[in-house]
C-alpha cells in the first residue's frame, strides 16, 4: 500500500522542513522525486540523502514566483503524476505593521508561486492521464492567528485555489486537496525562537507547543505521511478537501 513506484513527484521547497520529509518519504516509496528549491545547496543535501538510500532524485534551482522559470522547469521534467506545493515563506505582523513590500513578497511566493506551479503542471498531468496536486495551506486560513496577517491571507487564498482546481479538473482525473498544519517543529521554528526570544527559547517552545490541545508540535514526518496517503492510489476517491493536521487546534481549543 501507498507505493509510488513508477510515479513522478514534484515537491516545491523540498530542501528543508516539511518539504524535505515529503521528499525523503516519497523516494522511500519509490517515486522519482523532483525537488524545486530556491536554496540549491539545501536541495542538493536532501538529494544526497535520497541517493545514499538508493532513491532517484533530481534538483531544480527555481524561484516559484518566476513563472517563466517555473514553466521551463516543468517542461524539462515532462510527464508528472504528483505535485506538492510546499514552498512558502512566513511573516510576523498585523495589518498596520505589515509593509507593502512584505505583503507583496509573501503573496508572490505563497499565492502566485502555487498558481505558477499549478499552471505549469496541468499539461504534464494530462500527459500522465491525471494525478494528484497537494497544496500546503494552514490552520491560519480558518482561524485568527495573532500577528500573522499576510500569511493568513495567503493561506486563505490557497484554500480557495484548491477548491477551484479540484472542480475544474475533476473530469480529467486530476485531484486537488490541501493540508492545513498547525505548528510543526521545523528549523524555521527554532530560528524564529532564537531571533525573537534569545535566552528564552526553551520556555517559548513549550508555550507554543501547549497551544495545540494534544500538548506538542507536530513533526514534518507526520505531515509527510498524510501527504503520501493523499497522493497515493488509495486516496483516488478524495478531491476538493482540506485536511487539518493540528493536534486538535481547530476543533478542541476553547
Catalytic residue numbers, as ranges: 151
Beta strand extents in the chain (DSSP E only): 8-12, 32-37, 56-61, 82-85, 131-136, 174-181, 242-245
**Greatest C-alpha distance within the chain:** 55
d(CA 166, CA 42): 32
Q: SS3 of 249, please?
A: helix
d(CA 193, CA 198): 7
d(CA 136, CA 181): 8
Crossing angle between the packed helical segments 149-168 and 100-107, to the nearest 10 degrees? 30
Q: SS3 of 176, please?
A: strand
Amino acid at each position: 500500500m501507498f507505493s509510488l513506484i513508477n510515479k513522478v513527484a514534484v515537491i516545491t521547497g523540498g530542501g528543508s522542513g516539511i518539504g524535505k520529509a515529503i521528499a525523503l518519504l516519497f523516494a522511500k516509496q519509490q517515486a522519482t522525486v523532483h525537488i524545486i528549491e530556491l536554496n540549491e545547496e539545501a536541495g542538493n543535501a536532501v538529494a544526497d540523502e535520497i541517493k545514499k538510500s538508493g532513491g532517484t532524485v533530481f534538483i531544480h534551482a527555481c524561484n516559484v514566483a518566476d513563472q517563466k522559470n517555473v514553466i521551463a522547469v516543468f517542461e524539462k521534467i515532462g510527464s508528472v503524476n504528483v505535485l506538492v506545493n510546499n514552498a512558502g515563506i512566513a511573516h510576523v505582523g498585523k495589518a498596520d505593521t505589515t509593509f507593502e513590500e512584505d505583503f507583496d513578497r509573501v503573496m508572490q511566493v505563497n499565492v502566485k508561486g502555487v498558481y505558477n506551479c499549478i499552471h505549469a503542471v496541468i499539461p504534464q498531468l494530462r500527459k500522465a492521464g491525471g494525478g494528484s496536486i497537494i497544496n500546503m495551506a494552514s490552520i491560519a486560513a480558518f482561524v485568527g492567528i495573532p500577528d500573522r496577517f499576510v500569511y493568513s491571507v495567503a493561506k486563505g487564498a490557497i484554500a480557495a485555489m484548491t477548491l477551484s482546481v479540484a472542480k475544474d479538473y475533476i473530469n480529467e482525473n486530476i485531484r486537488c486537496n490541501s493540508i492545513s498544519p498547525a505548528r510543526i517543529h521545523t528549523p524555521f521554528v527554532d530560528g524564529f525562537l532564537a531571533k525573537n526570544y534569545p535566552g528564552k527559547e526553551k520556555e517559548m517552545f513549550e508555550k507554543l507547543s501547549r497551544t495545540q490541545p494534544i500538548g506538542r508540535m507536530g513533526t514534518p514526518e507526520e505531515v509527510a505521511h498524510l501527504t503520501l496517503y493523499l497522493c497515493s492510489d488509495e486516496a483516488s476517491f478524495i478531491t476538493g478537501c482540506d485536511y487539518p493536521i493540528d493536534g486538535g487546534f481547530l476543533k478542541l481549543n476553547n
